[in-house]
């Protein structure tokens, strides 16, 4: 007896062999809330904005070879990210597009290492050659907000170079940023435990943490002496 399975009647996916074919399929496809920009023979761009920042929250660009690259606030997701393996690095149908955009939209953005004294002092700007730095180096990533007539603001992320950017888990930090955050905390603990240098110790022999501790101790001593001087002056 012939099979009556519904699988026999499912329409075959219309696979694209080039960017023009995919663009033709997308012409009649609505992917809200994502916006689609088609540049024939160049690329197809999908964007999703949060209406707060001046750049899209998520951007996916499909090039002429049907391979895609994903961005979060213009920060590129690394080539070794799980999302590329899961989606085979390519888009060949509208269903592929829907699946990819859904995966990205439902993912969680890594919050980075957080902003404090250590992250601000350790961070480098993205215009530097980040390939020359270690994987746990912190990068300052500024995302401009929609300008208003009275002010201009930006959201600043402090992320390590190997940040995974988006995650499928509910964790606040990805593994690389978590490691970088722990490293920064160790620096903070070391800095707070550092003792001031002795009065005759050569500055060249003192590390940065000891110099900071020395400056703090000297400022405190000067403050106390100033208070004592004021008390003496009041008694005269």
- Range in 28-32, 169-173, 191-195, 207-211 the model is least confident about: 191-195
Residue 109 DSSP one-character state: E
In this predicted model, what pLDDT tens digit does every residue of 82-122 receive, in sequence order? 999 999 888 989 999 999 999 999 999 999 998 887 788 88
Name every residue whose Cβ is closer than 8 Å to that of residue 93 and which is 6 or more positions away in sequence: 13, 14, 15, 16, 22, 25
Calpha distance 89→100 (Å, rounded): 10
Domains of the chain, residue spans: 19-106, 109-117+129-193, 194-235
What's the pLDDT band for 34 if we cut at 50, 70, 90? very high
Closest listed residue to residue 122, CA positions, set 187, 194, 190, 213: 187
| Confidence band of 194 (pLDDT split at 50, 70, 90) | low
Contact assessment for residue 103 and residue 123, using Cβ atoms and an 8 Å cutoff:
no
Pick from 131, 118, 108, 136: which is nearest to 188 by CA? 118
User: Residue 54's pLDDT is what?
Assistant: 95
Q: Mean pLDDT throughout 173-182?
A: 91
Residue 41 confidence (pLDDT): 67
pLDDT-derived band of residue 8, with 50, 70 and 90 as boundaries? very low
User: Which of the residue ranges 24-33, 41-50, 95-104 would you say has the lowest mean pLDDT?
Assistant: 24-33
């Amino acid at each position: 007896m012939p099979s009556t399975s519904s699988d026999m009647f499912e329409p075959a996916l219309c696979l694209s062999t080039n960017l023009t074919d995919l663009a033709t399929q997308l012409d009649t496809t609505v992917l809200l809330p994502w916006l689609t920009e088609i540049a024939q023979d160049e690329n197809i761009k999908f964007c999703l904005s949060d209406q707060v920042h001046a750049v899209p929250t998520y951007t996916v660009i499909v090039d002429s070879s049907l391979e895609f690259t994903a961005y979060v606030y213009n920060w590129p997701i690394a080539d070794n990210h799980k999302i590329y393996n899961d989606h085979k690095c390519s888009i060949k149908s509208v269903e592929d597009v829907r699946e990819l955009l859904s995966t990205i939209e439902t993912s969680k953005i890594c919050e980075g290492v957080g902003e404090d004294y250590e992250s601000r002092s350790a961070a480098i700007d993205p215009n530097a050659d980040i390939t020359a730095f270690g994987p746990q180096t912190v990068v300052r990533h500024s995302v401009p907000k929609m300008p208003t007539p009275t002010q201009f603001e930006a959201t600043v992320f402090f992320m390590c170079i190997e940040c995974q950017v988006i995650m499928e888990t509910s964790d606040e930090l990805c593994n690389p940023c978590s490691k970088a955050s722990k490293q920064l905390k160790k620096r903070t603990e070391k800095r707070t435990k550092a003792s001031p240098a002795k009065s005759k110790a050569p500055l060249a022999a003192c590390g940065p943490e000891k110099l900071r501790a020395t400056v703090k101790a000297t400022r405190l001593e000067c403050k106390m002496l100033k208070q004592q001087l004021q008390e003496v002056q009041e008694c005269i």
